[in-house]
Structure 1
Amino acid sequence: MNSPSVMIRAADPGDLDGIADVHRRARATYYEGHLPEEEYNGPDELRRCREGTERAIGSADRKVLCVLREDRVVAFAVLGFRTGEEKLFQFHVDPELWRAGLGSALHRACVTAWQDAAVTAARLEVFGPNRRAQAFYARQGWVEDGHVDDHVAMSLTVAGR
């Protein structure tokens, strides 16, 4: 992550195509073989995801961060900011760039955003069979605290600065 051509910033509507592409390709890596393709890669699902991200970009209680590498979106996160215990709604890295430090850098930016907003705890749900993501979150300090349908619920204590 030492490349000067990598930047993390708040997303804007011009980033939606790149975000949608990362979202589609990342989800295919963990849903393939577990769900029918139409449920994670069909036109209705892709439209729903894009519209949800677009609403989040313009929302007062959500923040969308994106990682750009050479002006291309390569990772993004959607964070909540409305209750005492916030939620990490989406967190995806371009599968071609896994293990390059982008996810860890993006996660640090998420924690910093929560710290700036005086958030003390966050939650997320990760698809149960997605062991790779669960291991990533555990390395970042998230702790498994239950199950919701076919997802593992995890929580993070957000320490102050």
Structure 2
Amino acid sequence: MAPAAPPHPAPQVRPATTADLESIAALHTAARAAYLRGRIPDAPFDAPAEHARWRDAWARVLHHDEAPTLCAVRHGTVVGAASYRLHASVRGEPPRTAPASTVKLHQLHVDPAHWGTGVGRALHSACLHAWRAAGCSRAVLDVLWHNHRARTFYSSLGWCPDPDRRPAPDAVHLALTLCLTPPKGPPAPAAP
């Protein structure tokens, strides 16, 4: 008897294009509304104006050469997106010719209908691969303090509070960091 197919097939992760803009803006708006609704139940986070706001923001990201963007696709539908920037472009510095050692995960959103199905992990894994290939040794991100779902997700993937970026007492974001270099193992045994 053949093994049962997984309930949620692994998404395909690929570079996002401008053709993905509407889908990315819609899933970002829905994800943001879902995690903020618990904190501010009556706010219209999924209103048309919010969608337009995030559509404009993602349009800028998709046209920014220094902000690679990936999307996760399942059954032909974009169900997640991630965007990152090398540290130099995060701080507004001119591009460097040498690879940056730090990368900032700027956005990672999954359509709430696909939460818990491996989409976020697939996007994260693709980001890790790209960051390591680019020679980055450290990643940073900011997560909303009250977004416990996201904080748990990142913690499960090895992200820790960033000791170099302490939040202000009234901060609403938590700065996280992830070491991208493999831990140094024990030295190889000496040849006989």
- Whether these two folds match at TM > 0.5 is yes
TM-score, length basis structure 2: 0.74
Aligned equivalents of 1:52 and 1:112: distance in 2? 25
CA contact (8 A) 1:128 1:152 kept: yes
Q: Which of residues 119, 122, 140 in structure 1 aligns to 2:139?
A: 122
Give the direction of change, closer, same or farther, for the CA distance of 1:53–1:68 in structure 2 (3 Å limit). same
Percent of aligned pairs sharing the same letter: 35
Residue 58 of structure 2 aligns with which residue?
53
Q: 5+ residue gaps in structure 1?
A: none
Paired amino acid for 1:157:
C
TM-score, length basis structure 1: 0.87
Greater fraction strand: 1
Alignment root-mean-square deviation, CA: 2.0
Residue 69 of structure 1 aligns with which residue?
74
Q: Pick the structure with greater CA Rg.
A: 2
Q: CA deviation at 1:23?
A: 0.4
Q: 5+ residue gaps in structure 2?
A: 1-5, 89-99, 183-192
Over residues 112-157 of structure 1, what are the superposed CA-to-partner deviations in whole Å (9 max), with x where a residue is unaligned? 1111211111111111111111010011111112336211110111
Q: CA deviation at 1:16?
A: 0.8
Q: CA deviation at 1:34?
A: 2.7
Q: Which of residues 6, 9, 20 in structure 2 aligns to 1:3?
A: 9
Paired amino acid for 2:180:
V
Q: CA deviation at 1:71?
A: 0.9
Structure 1 residues 29-38 or 136-145, which shifts more? 29-38
Give the direction of change, closer, same or farther, for the CA distance of 1:32–1:59 in structure 2 (3 Å limit). same
The count of aligned residue pairs is 158
Q: Which of residues 29, 36, 51 in structure 1 aligns to 2:34?
A: 29
CA contact (8 A) 1:61 1:82 kept: no
